Each structure stands twice: as structure tokens, then as C-alpha cells.
Amino acid sequence: MVSHEDVLMEALPYIREHYDSVMVIKLGGHAMVRHGILENVVKDIVLLRYIGIHPVIVHGGGPEITEKMRRMGKDPSFVAGLRITDDETLEIVRMVLVGNINTKITSLLVRHGAKAVGLNGKDGGLIRARKKAPQRVVYEGREHEVDLGWVGETEIINPELVSIMIQHGYVPVIAPIAMDSQGNALNLNADTVAGDMAAALRAKKLILLTDVPGILRDINDPSTRLSRLSLSELDGLVEQGIIREGMMPKVLAAKVAVSSGVEAAHIIDGSREHALLLELLTAGGIGTMVVPNP
């Protein structure tokens, strides 16, 4: 039986290695939907802050947005995994992401002893984006061009505001709403924002919390989890069709971050108790770590 002392001593070299480093943590999946899980993840983030790590949180909120839309009598529409965002949908997105989820995460952090500030990409010119081009999709055998509405992609990250907050001991909590050059609000994919933010901040780690144990060779078999992948191995899995659909935005975010100098990107199951601590402070880890090519 492993003693508490052994657990602490195993963590010591990792605490020393990660001390005073910036880590971008993307919250999504069950961690966002179920309050108990979210609170446990927040407690782990506060612990990381107290051992000298500087967390920066980026959060999504897709399931909550969909639920809110349906309660308001509006059916959500998706193309290529992206939500079609008209004027009304954008207002719902802003209401859920900024007014609800961002506030909830920030309040939990403060309740458990951290200094935290809620932000979105419009604050201080943090994220400037451009509207995504119309997407070509095949429907009933014919190709169609679909305008996604107010859906954007990152153009420029200005990390100055986040860096100032980190220097003063705050945990920034960022909602993925950005602004274009004309001042229009745009809805961005949270995984993409997290990868771009990690690259801009030159973070040590990017950690993506999701609903699965990591990247699986067989999506139906958790025992096929791949614990460590290089960028070229990751590309190979995409080409083979092993990585697809919902995992693609996370993989692309990991590639952007690691290609830009982030030491590693981790894809882990956010619903597992103390997932962050197990991944960062133990030898085995519990998810998939993406690293640069040798």
C-alpha cells in the first residue's frame, strides 16, 4: 500500500520542475456540465496555484448553449462541427459563456482561495479574430456553401493583459468570445483559443480536459490509450482516420501549441477525480501527452 508520504515525495520533483511556469487549462466536457466535477477541478487548479504554478483557464460551454437555445425555442444547427451563429444565437452564446459559465468558474476559484478575474477576448484587445469563410459541405449528394454567421478564427492574440494578471497572482478565466477589426463579436472554438493562448504566452503546458481518457487507438476501448505521441505520430493517426470528429479541434490545438514552443500538450479525462494532479505530478500520468518531434 502506498503511503501518503510516498505520494508527496513522488510529486516533489514535478512540483520543482513546474514551479513558476504558466499552464493553459481548457475546461470542457463533463467538467463543465456537472457542478461536482467542476468544483473538484477548480480545487485542483487552486492547489496548482498554491504550489507555484500559474494557471490560465479557457472554457467552452457547447452543451449549455445548446440547452439554453432549446429552452428558448431555437434549434441549434452545426456544419463541420461548428455552430451556425446568427444574431440571436450569438446573444445566447454571450449570455451563457460570459454571464453564466465564466462567472461560475471565477466565483468557485475565489471561494476556494484563489484570486481570479473573468475575461473574454474583447477585453483589452485580448483576442482579435476574423469571420470564418463559408464552409463547403456535401448534402444529399450535392456540394453546398454554408455561411456560419458570427463564427470566427483567431487572427491575433495580445497576451499583455493576461501576463499582467499572472504577475500579480491572479488566475485569468477566459471565455472564447473575440472581436474583429470592425468591433463585431465572434464566437470561437474554445480548444482553438486555448492552443493559441498557450502559444502566445509561451506556456510550459497546454492541458485540454475532455470526456475521454485521451487519444485512443480504438475509440471503443479505453485500454488502447496512447500515453505519449510526437507531432509526426499525431499526423499519422489523423491520416489513418484514427483521430477524427470531436477529437480533431483538440489535436489541432495541441499541434499549434507544441509547434510554437509549448513543452507539451495533455489531453485528459476531466471527469476523473484529481485528473490534473495525476497527470502533472505523477510519473505515470493518465492521459495523452503530445510532445515535439525528436
Question: Is 217 marked as a binding-site residue?
Answer: no
CA distance 257 to 106: 25
Residue 5 makes CB contacts below 8 A (sequence gap 6+) with none
**β-strand partners of 154:** 129
Question: Is 293 marked as a binding-site residue?
Answer: no
Instruction: Please name the residue ranges forming H helices in the chain.
Output: 4-18, 30-33, 35-50, 62-71, 87-94, 103-111, 160-167, 190-201, 231-239, 248-259, 275-281
CA distance 56 to 45: 9
Per DSSP, 133 falls in state: P
Question: Is 61 marked as a binding-site residue?
Answer: yes
Residue 187 makes CB contacts below 8 A (sequence gap 6+) with 83, 85, 90, 93, 150, 151, 152, 176, 177
Task: Answer whether 106's CB lies under 8 Å from 117's CB.
Answer: yes
CA distance 214 to 219: 10
Question: Is 220 marked as a binding-site residue?
Answer: no
Integer angstrom CA distances of residue 176 from 45, 136, 256: 19, 24, 17
| Assigned C-alpha cell, 279 | 497527470
Give per-residue burial for 13-34: e unless 16+ CB within 10 Å, then b.
ebeeebeeebbbbbbbbbbbbe
**H or E element, residue 159:** none
Binding site: what residues are annotated? Answer: 61-62, 83, 187
Annotated binding site for substrate: 61-62, 83, 187
